[in-house]
Amino acid sequence: MKVSICIVSHNRKLELKRTLKILHNYTKETVCEILVFLDGCSDDSENLVGEFPECIWEIRDNQIGASPARNLLYQKATGDLIFGFDDDAHPLQNDFINKARLIFSKNVNLAVIAFEEIKGVFENDAQALEKHIPDEEFYCREFVGCGFVIRKAAYRQTAGFPNWMKIYGEESCISIELLDLGYTILYTSQISVNHRVNKEERKHLKKTVYRFENQLSNSALFYFAYYPKILIPKRLIALFFHNFRKYAFEDIAFLKAFFRAMINFLIRIPKVITYRKVVKKETLKKSIELPLPKYG
């Protein structure tokens, strides 16, 4: 199985450099290509091209968003297995590729392996692995974008990462389409990824509000894309009511984000309607019954 590794990055030069160094060391003895999409960077990330000439680089001056960037990158990937990592995330096992190959070889219906996410900034990988939970494995409804691997053959049976959203929620779209095709998604702690996120710093930078706004509008559009028309109104009412009561009602910043999300949702409905890929009711039932993967 030839392997591709895909990474989308926006203005995180130092984090990307660290990730690429680790991946380079781990893949030196493997038939592997690393594809990197620089999405409208303004922090000199392009200088990394000279430091990592073995990578395949795609550079855009204007930011198009993580999901459309992934869509373009995954079309270029030639590997039978495509690994996806965030630019600030790296595998903690140096044999992660062989582990993934072995798991796939035992299950022909398996489309995606979702990795254990260990979130936080650590002095070294040994410290990160202190939070590792061994022997944890189960089938789940979706995967987390910071660390996973997907069969190219399965991915290409889907519509790919959607162009009608920029970020937050694109994995759910791929997941529901794969489940509808009869594939499975496996969460396993055999492969761990350190997502080098400083939670307090992200809160300070208002990343939480940004995520809330995008996830809310994308979740609403998700129903339009995949649910039968008769179920959409009920789902939308429940979604907006829950998020208004839990977040917008408590905080003025979230309240403003709530209304921005609703406006963005309404503006993008026409584009999503033309995309609609309604899944089977059995798929929706199966998705609800399956657990979510574990988040770090």
- Whole-number mean pLDDT of the chain? 95
| Low-confidence residues of the chain: pLDDT under 70 | 199-206
Question: What pLDDT score does 201 carry?
Answer: 65
Residue 292 phi, psi (nearest 5): -80, 155
d(CA 186, CA 110): 7
Per DSSP, helices labelled H in the chain are 13-27, 48-51, 66-76, 96-105, 125-129, 152-155, 170-180, 199-204, 207-226, 232-243, 252-275, 281-289
Q: How many residues are given for the chain?
A: 296
SS3 184: strand
Supply angle C-alpha 162, 166, 169, rounded to 5: 65
Record the pTM.
0.94
Task: Give the HSE-up count for residue 285: Cα atoms under 13 Å, Cβ half-sphere.
Answer: 3
> What residue type is assigned to position 61 of the chain?
D
Please give the structure tokens belonging to residue 14: 């130092």
CA torsion, points 50, 55, 56, 60, in degrees to nearest 10?
A: -50
Question: What pLDDT score does 205 carry?
Answer: 52
CB 265 within 8 A of CB 213: no
CB 85 within 8 A of CB 19: yes
pLDDT digits (tens, 9 = 90+) for 40-91: 999 999 999 999 999 999 999 999 999 999 999 999 999 999 999 999 999 9
d(CA 283, CA 226): 10
Arch. (CATH architecture) of 3-198 = Alpha-Beta Complex (3.90)
Question: What pLDDT score does 199 carry?
Answer: 67
d(CA 38, CA 11): 8
Supply angle C-alpha 236, 237, 238, rounded to 5: 90
Which sequence spans correspond to the domains of the chain? 3-198, 200-278
Q: In angstroms, how far is CA 107 from the centroid of its own chain?
A: 22
